[in-house]
Structure 1
């Protein structure tokens, strides 16, 4: 974590220090009084319904060494060491940028509509074979979260792997200029955030903003199966010189997987151009293997051998609720993919379920896909139309938009094998009564649908 004096931090954010000793040591940064640690700098974030300045005195009482204080919020609490700034959030971002400049750390930035967290986990596991690595935790990948992740870095960190999320234009541009990555990765362009960006082309342009902060002669690895990225790349702001690696499933990519085998709880594969080593990941699905190509590209760029990359990939610990394979107390198998959802990721999960063998029946639970904009009904209808009794035995959907999935799927199933629910508890009850110990159940939905509640009930219940 950042360790600097009160006076040094004031200079880093171009603020004015009041009520404190310039030599006092500050250790770490926090925006939350519930988790504040002794010695932290408290950052009072202002939201639509709250103002962190109201909790600055509480933060100090709990051990914070000082607080940032926005000038338009009046005087800071008497006796609380404070750094006066024009904008508390901008000061947090500037502090992170200054701290990053003071460290010799080499950073990989990752963005994409789907797969960026899993890819981050893969890349971090690969690089950790050889380096001291810091990576994004949880969903700290936005204009508040990314600065906090940088400020959590130990000064001995050699490489960092940071997610960059966004909802609109110029957000990733801000993040990449704070982080100044040496390597950049775009996993894929989907439909998430369509309501903010208008089209897949708009999403691609927003994701390509990551290149505006990429260091000269760095590396850019991206999904070569996405023609939008190829088409837009010549027209975006980027370094005058950079290395480019295209990865994907098709033959035209620099890196592509071969010999894919899904076995048990993981997937094995080789990489084009070399039969050895055989790589393995503790994840299911061809889409995860494609994302592993990004880890191969970044690993090679930072000097790891393929054997070291293979060791890192096999040891990775994926973040939960992303094709997380669970076994219920009854023996039923559940694929928990409830962290998020989009048309592309839903199709990938359905393809995985379709290809798995060795189970009694294949049951599908789908929730609404959110943030798709004005075409959300069409996307849900199209997903429903891909489902059929040829590959799946039962489909249960939850949420107002998912009714369109159920309606589109119903003609391709026997009567009663497709059901829509407006009540999540009712869905969970019906599912628990229908599932058998040798079945496999895919549960997929956007974060806001909280379908992990269905997962937990299913795996904890005796069928």
Structure 2
């Protein structure tokens, strides 16, 4: 983490500091007064519903060594080490960029509509065989989270894997210029953010902004089967690229994929005699692994190390997490997020897995899909294979359209639509014998992990 004197911090942010506290050393940065660690610099942010300046004195009581204070906020405390700045968020971002510029470190930036976090986790695991690695934790992937991640990097960290999220044009550009990646990864282009950006073409352009901060000798790793990305690459001269995907035109593609209840077995074109085992469910995660393999190879990781690393992947929670319900049923908790692309992939996974008496989908609203959101939900329902899926349960206003579509391919007595989680779980439990496989998936705002907890109770 950043360890600097208050004077050095002020200089890195471009904020003059003349007070007697200038030699006090800060260690790390926090924006939450409740989570202050001793020696932290507290950064009070102004939000729509709260103002961190109200908690500055609490932050000092909890161990903060210093705090920023925005000049337009009245009554700064007089007896604590305070650095006055024009805007606390901008000061945090300037500090993070200055700190990143000091570090001698390999940076991998990861963006995409789906699979960012999984790809980040796999890359981190593969690189850990040879490097001291840190990665974005949780959802710290935006204009606040990325600066905090950069400022948490230890001086001896050798590789940082940084996830970059967005909701509108220009956000990835801002993040990548701060992070300055040596390798940039675009996992895919899906439908997430159609509400804000309007088209998949606009989404692709927004994700492609990641190259704007790429080192001049850097490499872009991207899904080569996506024509929207291919077109952007062709229009960008002097860009070094590596591609992954399903087709043989890519630098890296699978020659065999087999799903099991424990993970995925696959072979690749560059090592045809070797079989890799990825301890993560889902064919789509094999492609996330291919992106990670290309990154690892660029940074000198051997195939032996890659093979070993893939077996030990631990993903962020609620991403195809296999857990057990109270009757012994197996539940795939994929409640972290959802888009049409990721929902289709998860349903395909459930359809492929063997050894279960019945297979059940619990699907909720997919958010931020724009004016065609009802159509996207209904299409999901219509595409369900009635020979592979036994029951469909939906929850939410938009979930009802999944149910509507599902009733065109499944008998109505196998499709249930709910607005309340408790009633959904009550009905679902009445059908369970213990040898079922249940997929639980929706956008983050639906909080369907609560359904998983109710099924386990």
RMSD: 1.2
Equivalent residues of 1:18, 1:82 under 8 A apart: no
Q: What's the CA shift for 1:50?
A: 1.1
Q: What's the CA shift for 1:308?
A: 1.0
Q: What's the CA shift for 1:83?
A: 1.1
Q: Tell me the equivalent position of 2:386.
A: 389
For 1:293 and 1:309, the matched residues in 2 are separated by 11
The alignment of Structure 1 onto Structure 2 pairs a total of residues equal to: 457
Equivalent residues of 1:277, 1:307 under 8 A apart: no
> SS of the counterpart of 2:34?
coil
Q: What's the CA shift for 1:365?
A: 0.5
Stretch deviating more after TM superposition (155-164 or 415-424): 415-424
Q: Tell me the equivalent position of 2:255.
A: 258
Q: Deviations over 1:74-104 (max 9, x none)?
A: 3421112111111111110110101011110
Q: Tell me the equivalent position of 2:347.
A: 350
Equivalent residues of 2:327, 2:432 under 8 A apart: no
The alignment's TM-score, normalised by the length of structure 1, stands at: 0.97
Q: Tell me the equivalent position of 1:302.
A: 299
Q: Tell me the equivalent position of 1:290.
A: 287
Q: What runs of 5+ residues in structure 1 fail to find an aligned partner?
A: none
For 1:18 and 1:420, the matched residues in 2 are separated by 64
For 1:175 and 1:28, the matched residues in 2 are separated by 20
Stretch deviating more after TM superposition (333-342 or 252-261): 252-261
Q: Tell me the equivalent position of 2:212.
A: 212
For 1:127 and 1:164, the matched residues in 2 are separated by 19
Q: Deviations over 1:288-338 (max 9, x none)?
A: 001100111000000111111111121111111111111224221111111
Q: What's the CA shift for 1:212?
A: 0.1
Q: What's the CA shift for 1:387?
A: 1.5
Q: What's the CA shift for 1:340?
A: 0.3
Q: Deviations over 1:5-50 (max 9, x none)?
A: 0100000001133655211110000000110111110001111111
Q: What runs of 5+ residues in structure 2 fail to find an aligned partner?
A: none
> SS of the counterpart of 1:300?
helix
Stretch deviating more after TM superposition (16-25 or 151-160): 16-25
For 2:436 and 2:329, the matched residues in 1 are separated by 5
For 2:444 and 2:101, the matched residues in 1 are separated by 35
| 2:410 maps to 1:423 | no
Q: Tell me the equivalent position of 2:452.
A: 455
Q: Given the alignment, which residue of 261, 275, 280 partners 2:277?
A: 280
Q: Deviations over 1:185-220 (max 9, x none)?
A: 000111111111111111111100100000011111
Q: Tell me the equivalent position of 1:267.
A: 264
Residues 48-447 of structure 1 mapped to structure 2, 5 A cutoff: 48-235=48-235, 241-447=238-444
Equivalent residues of 2:173, 2:213 under 8 A apart: yes
The alignment's TM-score, normalised by the length of structure 2, stands at: 0.98
Q: Deviations over 1:144-190 (max 9, x none)?
A: 00000111110000000000001101111110011000000000111
Q: What's the CA shift for 1:263?
A: 2.1
Equivalent residues of 1:216, 1:241 under 8 A apart: no
> SS of the counterpart of 1:433?
helix
Q: Deviations over 1:123-149 (max 9, x none)?
A: 000000000000010000000000001
Equivalent residues of 1:332, 1:459 under 8 A apart: no
> SS of the counterpart of 1:430?
helix
Question: Which segments of structure 1 move beyond 3 Å, counting only runs of 4 or more?
Answer: none
Q: Tell me the equivalent position of 1:32.
A: 32
Stretch deviating more after TM superposition (292-301 or 450-459): 450-459
> SS of the counterpart of 1:72?
coil
For 1:250 and 1:291, the matched residues in 2 are separated by 15
Q: What's the CA shift for 1:234?
A: 3.7
Equivalent residues of 2:261, 2:354 under 8 A apart: no
For 2:291 and 2:383, the matched residues in 1 are separated by 29
> SS of the counterpart of 1:191?
coil
Q: Deviations over 1:352-378 (max 9, x none)?
A: 111111110011110000011111111
For 2:390 and 2:8, the matched residues in 1 are separated by 63
